[in-house]
Amino acid sequence: MRRTLLQVAGFLVLWIIIDVVVNRPIQRLSTHLSSQFSSRLVIVHPVYANSVLQEMEEEEEAMPSIPGMRATPLDVQMEEQETVGIEGNTTEFFTEGVLEPSESNSELQENDGDAEGIEKVMFTSIPPSSALPTEISTESPTRMSGCGSEANPCDVVMTLSAECSTYTLPKKLKRTIRMLSLYQQHFSFKAVMFSTSKSIRLYCKDHSIRVVSSFTVNMHGLPVLKNMILSTRLLYTAHLVGYMNSDILFSPSLFDMMRFLLSEEQKGAISPAYCAAERVSDVDEYSIHLSFDSLPDFTRSFRAIPRKRGLRNPNSADLFLFSKGYPVESMRTAVIGRRKIDSYIMYYTTKSGSALVDITKSVIGIHQGRDTYNEHTRKKNLNDFYYNSRYYDDRYQGISSLKHCQYKLLVEGNRTVLRRCRAKFH
């Protein structure tokens, strides 16, 4: 009897194996799941964890479809690259064909030999247009037409990055986006937002701000500044490409100042490779009341904001503008949103032989609120918090501050002048 039962059991097992091999239901299921995943692929910064992905998916299901929001027609393929961070396994996504090895392993180890998961891919040169990163196109033919082509380059293109796990955006981010949208209507200017958040993409679309949703991040999910600038140079032709923190407001005088700086470059008064940097004043949010009805209304309301706290220290800056001749390609993979990113930019500017231009006295810059990156990131692990320290050391403070800039852009009466500083470098 037992022998008969064993034979029956063996026959059943053999039949199941044959059925699996012939019909391959597992393979079909795997293929189905893979196609479902790839059709909903989004890049979620590891710092926002799985809860944000869940919220984004819930929002996507709850929100109606949006006419006109489409993926880039370039059909860029994405591939996953798993890296091991300090807090465990995370997944980072890179655009296939855009990134390639640049720094040797020994150089990476020299910068931070004990760090795990240091990115091993980066831009080595401006990639071809076919390798453009995936983006969400939010251009409106009426408001976004104009500058950005070879025939009509923009004076300025400004980049910024933000993430938001809720449907409603913070007021300070809304103000910044609305300001940039207003400037696009009146100046030779474009803005590019780097974000994976659906709520930010929707708000930017409503205000005709272009959004890039696929971009290079480090092991902790922070965007790499160098890659942001290079990607933006592919999207738009511009004389100056900048980066600003997403909680910053700046006066429209920036555009007049940049046109003057470009004219000085054409006359040979300044090197073609330069970086203009801006210090800002901390302002309490409750005192900010802006009108976006028109540019004159905005300008009046902006100038009415009380700036009682004075400027931040000259070792910091919250807005940067890089000339077309600035050697962005040779920058290290420092990230935004972490301490010392501003010090690294100013250090690299001087070290590379480029000119550092202080525009603080000619452009009003405002930081909305009194919080700092330290308050935002104090709970991060040390490798995350000090990530940029592998590229910059405080020993170089003497050449990494606006106190030691090469030029200052000033307004004297009705004249704009470019003054050469008497900087002493250590």
Report pLDDT digits (tens) over 202-233: 999 999 999 999 999 999 999 999 999 999 99
Answer for the pair 356, 408: CB distance below 8 angstroms, yes or no: no
pLDDT reading at 131 higher than 90: no
Position 416 scores a pLDDT of 95
Judge whether 25 lies within some domain: no
End-to-end CA, the chain: 94
Q: Which of 63-77, 195-209, 248-262 has the lowest mean pLDDT?
A: 63-77
pLDDT of residue 113: 34
Among 56-60, 245-249, 295-299, 409-413, the minimum mean pLDDT is found in 56-60
Average pLDDT over residues 168-179: 97
pLDDT at 189 over 70: yes
Among 120-124, 130-134, 290-294, 366-370, the range scoring the smallest mean pLDDT is 120-124
Q: What pLDDT, on the 0 to 100 scale, is given for residue 108?
A: 28
Tracing tokens 């931040």 back to the chain, one arrives at 312
Q: Is residue 152 part of a domain?
A: yes
Rounded Cα distance between 156 and 258, Å, is 8
pLDDT in tens, 15-51: 777 765 555 544 444 444 444 433 333 333 433 333 3
pLDDT for the residue 7:
78
Burial degree of 403 (CB within 10 A; 0-12, 13-18, 19+) = middle
Averaging pLDDT over each range in 21-30, 66-75, 99-108, which range is the top one? 21-30
| The pLDDT of residue 146 | 85
In a domain? residue 46: no
Task: Indicate the number of domains in the chain.
Answer: 1
On the question of pLDDT at 264 being above 80, the answer is yes
**For position 379, what pLDDT does the model report?**
58
pLDDT at position 23 is: 55
As a whole number, the mean pLDDT across the chain is 76
Q: Is the confidence at residue 130, as pLDDT, over 70?
A: no
Q: What percent of the chain has pLDDT over 90?
A: 54
- Of the ranges 130-144, 190-204, 372-386, 412-426, the best mean pLDDT one: 190-204
Using pLDDT thresholds of 50, 70 and 90, give the confidence band for residue 172: very high
Residue 37 lies in a domain: no
Query: Who's near 33: CB < 8 A, 6+ residues apart?
Result: none
Instruction: Specify whether the CB–CB gap between 93 and 43 falls below 8 A.
Output: yes
Give strand pairing partners of 367: 248, 282
- 76-80, 141-145, 219-223: lowest mean pLDDT where? 76-80
> Is residue 346 predicted with pLDDT exceeding 50?
yes
**In the sheet that 248-250 helps form, which strands lie side by side, from edge to edge?**
248-250, 365-368, 281-283
The pLDDT confidence band at residue 119, using thresholds 50, 70 and 90, is very low
In a domain, 30, yes or no: no
Structural domain span for residue 93: 60-420
Give the whole-angstrom CA distance, residue 216 versus residue 210.
Answer: 17
In-domain check, residue 13 = no
Q: Give the tokens for residue 10.
A: 């063996």
pLDDT value for 397 = 85
Residue 168 falls inside a structural domain: yes
| Band of pLDDT at residue 242, cut at 50, 70 and 90 | very high
Give pLDDT tens digits for 305-343.
Answer: 998 878 888 888 999 999 999 999 999 999 999 999 999
Would you state the pLDDT for residue 363? 97
Q: What share of the chain is helix, strand, coil (3-state, %, to 5)?
A: 40, 20, 40
Establish if 162 belongs to a structural domain.
yes
Q: What gap in Å lies between CA 167 and CA 198, rounded to an integer? A: 8
- Interacting residues of 89 by C-beta distance below 8 A, sequence separation 6+: 82
- Alpha carbons 265 and 248: distance in angstroms, whole number: 27
Q: What's the pLDDT at 9?
A: 78
pLDDT at position 15 is 74
Provide the pLDDT for residue 423: 53
Closest to 352 measured CA to CA, from 426, 273, 419, 418: 273
Q: What is the pLDDT of residues 353-388, one digit of tens each?
A: 999 999 999 999 999 997 665 555 555 688 899 999
Task: List, in sequence order, every residue forming a beta bridge with 243; answer none if it has no partner.
Answer: 159, 320
Instruction: Give me the pLDDT at residue 4, please.
Output: 75
